[in-house]
Amino acid sequence: MEHPMSVQAKLVQSGIQLIPLNKLASSPRNVRKKDRKADIEALAASIAAKGLLQNLCVVAGEGDRFEVEAGGRRRLALMHLAKTGVIAKDFPVPCQVVDRENGREISLAENVHRVGMDAMDEVDAYAALVAEGRTPDEIARRFGGERRHVDQRLALSSLSPKIKAAWKRGDINLEAARAFCAVSDHAQQNAVFRSLGHLVEHPDMIRSRLVDGRILVTDRMAQFVGLYAYRDAGGTVSEDLFDDEATFIENPALLTRLAEDKLGAGIPALLAEGWGWADMQLGAGRIEGLSTLRGYPGWRDPTPDEQSELDRLTAEIEALDAELEANAIDDDPRWSQRDDLEAAYETVRQKAHVWDPDMRALCGVVLSIARNGQVSISEGAVRSSDEKALRALQKPARTSSESAGLAGEGEAAHVSELPKVLNRELSLVRTQVIRQALASDPDRALAVCVAGLAASSLQRSTVPGLNVSARFMKIEDLSDLADMTARLQTELPDDEADLLDWALDQSRDRLLAALGILISGAIDLAHEDTTPADLRMQDVGDRLAQTLDIDMTRYWQADLGFWTWLSKRWLVAALEQTPGLAAKSAASRGAIVKAHTKLRREELAAKVAGFYEGTGYLPAMLVTPVAAGALAVTVEGVEALSTSLQAAE
């Protein structure tokens, strides 16, 4: 192989010549076969603005023509300039003529021994040009790039000094740096940078934290209002230069006002229909004061014309069924005809599904915005203040079997020791704990799911307290579960049509984790400890608390607020059982209890609260039953029991 220095000497000896552009041709020995025409227009713009900064390397061809060994893209850029009239077709091009035998090596050397410009160097260079007075449009034009590319580089140059320093040190990569450009506020950038630790490797996580709470133009409310209406009202948007799908609403208060005005415009028409009230729900929360009860439309008798049409459609369906049973073929078009007949039948039938005027007057309508930006109308909502009137209206319509089912056949009435309100509060606390425990225990959540689904689908019944029909029960969850639910919601696709594809792409472990969260949301075991149904619900809660090994003393304490709910008789009974009195003689205990019975109920509650403070006391409905086999008599236990009995004697 020839010594490199001898090649260099030959190149120097060859010298530089000005060769007309139309005398230059592509060389078959040029090693670059792909991407020859990539970004030619940008390169042409740069040459037009700055001139040809690097000569071409050519070898002599046939006649007066030369073949370009190195600089093929520069030749194409010059040809583009000639074609557009910027330069002449015979524009003199500086070329270095080399020997033919060295042409391929020179082409390879130029394409291999090159290092692309570091992104940070490019960012600093663009920032320096702006500092010198150049506009982004001018920079894009002179360097043949797109304005968006220039804006991206300038956005990177505007990052906080702390993040730019981390980028230069290699603590974060280019993708992470781009993610920080989602906002321009340095304090916000630095806060997220600190929260993510020393090494930041997940751009999606960075963007998620930076834009948390911001409204995308694809948000349901933005779709409902419409960008044209929003902008006409003076609203502005901002774009994430590195994410084509991230465009944000900059005036959320204006957007909310426009949505309220547009949604509220439909309320007068609803009230004119006879509804008791109508309200709007723009967020994900629950309208304050709503009951869990709902009103439903009833069925009237069909009119003569409707009944005639139903009879006609029924006859056609039956005749078609007979034909299909006799001679149906694969992909028989008559099946489609049958579907059309059934759809027509259902349309006529639904005309008799109407609201009773008295029921409608008690109920209301909630207007909200669906995911696709369309208006969603929920009829039959009931305010808590109207529960009693609604129950009275519904009572005559209940069947005797339904009424019997509420009490339970052959079951005795149950009298609770605690007030109903307190029972519901206590059982709600345990519901919160059970939900959170299930969310972290996918295997048991799976068992709960199967039990509930088996009951509803195979036995046409329900397991008390388990609402596993994907109806999320509205309960203010403990913070850990609330965070888990929020994270799951951010993972789910916005379009329901994409939900199945998302689920099919997940691993079994991820699906089980999601199932735990979803099943936990179907748990509502709050009750008043009054009816037989309440007792069955308590049994379900006991079983779940037992299998989840829940210790309610970690989540609930008997504070003064609890004791003040209780009657004086109940407080005296609790006082007699306080651990502090257990060690005293019967006479002493009696004297203390007698003295306390003279106190007013509020004072006695405070005393009892003090006696029980720090003891881990739990009302019976919060106590987790001991699992079968959890207790065993040991040798040590027998000895301790014998000692205790001897001392008692």
Question: pLDDT of 479-510, one tens digit each?
Answer: 777 777 777 777 766 655 565 566 667 677 77
Distance CA 593, CA 572 (A): 7
Going edge to edge, which strands form the sheet with 364-369? 277-281, 364-369, 375-383, 290-294
Q: Are 70 and 56 in contact (CB under 8 A)?
A: yes
For 4-112, CATH number? 3.90.1530.30
User: pLDDT (tens digit, 9 = 90+) per residue, 274-322?
Assistant: 999 999 888 655 677 777 777 888 888 889 999 999 899 989 888 887 8
Task: Report the distance separating Cα 87 and Cα 2, nearest Å.
Answer: 40
The residue ranking higher by pLDDT, 365 or 398, is: 365
CB 58 within 8 A of CB 72: no
Q: What is the rounded CA–CA span in Å between residue 187 and residue 352?
A: 62
Average pLDDT, the chain: 76
- Residue 449's φ and ψ, nearest 5 degrees, are -60, -50
Q: Which residue has the higher pLDDT, 249 or 207?
A: 249
DSSP state of 494: S
Say which residue, 637 or 257, is predicted with more confidence.
Answer: 257
* Helix, strand, coil distribution of the chain in percent, nearest 5: 55, 10, 35
* Residue 111's pLDDT band (cuts 50, 70, 90): low
Q: Which of 90-94, 111-115, 285-289 has the highest mean pLDDT?
A: 90-94
DSSP, collapsed to helix, strand or coil, labels residue 375 as strand
Contact status, residue 382 vs residue 362, Cβ threshold 8 Å: yes
Compute the distance between CA of residue 539 and CA of residue 311 in angstroms, rounded to an integer: 50
pLDDT in tens, 528-566: 777 777 788 888 888 888 888 888 888 888 888 888 888
Pair 281, 368: CB distance under 8 Å: yes
Percent of the chain with pLDDT over 70: 77
pLDDT band at 470 (very low <50, low <70, confident <90, very high): very low
pLDDT tens per residue across span 226-271: 999 999 999 988 877 777 777 888 888 899 899 999 999 999 999 9
Would you say 571 and 604 are in contact if contact means Cβ atoms under 8 Å apart? yes
The closest of 269, 284, 300 to 365, measured between CA atoms, is: 269
pTM above 0.85, yes or no: no
Between 176 and 113, where is the model more confident? 176
What gap in Å lies between CA 81 and CA 87, rounded to an integer?
Answer: 6
According to DSSP, the β-strands at 215-216 and 237-239 are unpaired
Q: Which residue has the higher pLDDT, 637 or 613?
A: 613
Q: Are strands 92-97 and 298-299 parallel, antiparallel or unpaired?
A: unpaired
Q: What is the pLDDT of residue 228?
A: 93
Compute CA distances 441 → 158, 348, 433, 519, whole Å.
Answer: 46, 48, 12, 10
pLDDT tens profile 29-38 = 776 665 556 6
Q: Determine the Cα–Cα distance for residues 148 and 137; give it in Å rounded to an integer.
A: 10
Q: At 185, phi and psi to the nearest 5? A: -75, 120
pLDDT at 340: 86
Q: Classify residue 506 by its DSSP letter.
A: S
Residue 403: is its pLDDT beyond 50?
no
pLDDT at 285: 53
Return the H-helix or E-strand segment holding 280. strand 277-281
The structural domains of the chain, with segments of one domain joined by +, span 4-112, 215-263, 266-297+358-397, 304-354, 420-554
Say whether 412 sits in a helix, a strand or coil: coil
Given this model, what pLDDT does residue 317 score? 84
Long-range CB contacts (within 8 A, 24+) of 103-109: 103/27, 103/29, 103/57, 103/59, 103/67, 103/69, 104/29, 104/31, 104/69, 105/7, 106/11, 106/57, 106/69, 106/70, 107/27, 107/29, 107/30, 107/31, 107/32, 107/57, 107/69, 107/70, 108/31, 109/70
Q: What is the pLDDT of residue 230?
A: 93
pLDDT of residue 55 exceeding 60: yes
The rounded Cα 260 to chain-centroid distance in angstroms is: 24
- Residues 6 or more apart whose Cβ sits within 8 Å of residue 564: 601, 602, 605
Q: How far apart are the first and last CA of the chain?
A: 111
- The whole-angstrom separation of Cα 22 and Cα 24 is 6
pLDDT of residue 197: 65
**pLDDT class of 97 with cuts at 50, 70, 90:** confident
640 compared with 206, residue with greater pLDDT: 206
Q: Measured between alpha carbons, how far is 203 from 457 in angstroms, rounded to an integer?
A: 44
Burial bucket for residue 29 (CB in 10 Å: 0-12, 13-18, 19+): middle
- Token pair listed for 556: 């609930």
Find out whether 356 and 397 touch, Cβ atoms under 8 Å: no
Dihedral angle, C-alpha 502, 507, 510, 512, nearest 10 °: 100
- pLDDT on residue 399: 44
Banded model confidence at residue 406, pLDDT cuts 50, 70, 90: very low
Q: With beta carbons less than 8 A apart as the criterion, state whether 527 and 534 touch.
A: yes
Of 49, 27, 142, 43, nearest in space to 95 by CA: 27
* pLDDT greater than 80 at residue 472: no
Task: Please report which confidence band the pLDDT of residue 587 belongs to, taking 50, 70 and 90 as the band edges.
Answer: confident
Nearest C-alpha neighbor of 522 from the set 421, 406, 425, 439: 439
Measured CA to CA, the distance from residue 378 to residue 245 in angstroms comes to 31
Q: Angle, to 10 degrees, between the axis of helix 186-195 and the axis of helix 203-210?
A: 130
Most confident range (mean pLDDT) of 3-12, 222-231, 637-646 is 222-231
Q: Is the pLDDT of residue 638 over 50?
A: no
Q: Which of 282-291, 470-479, 585-594 has the lowest mean pLDDT?
A: 470-479
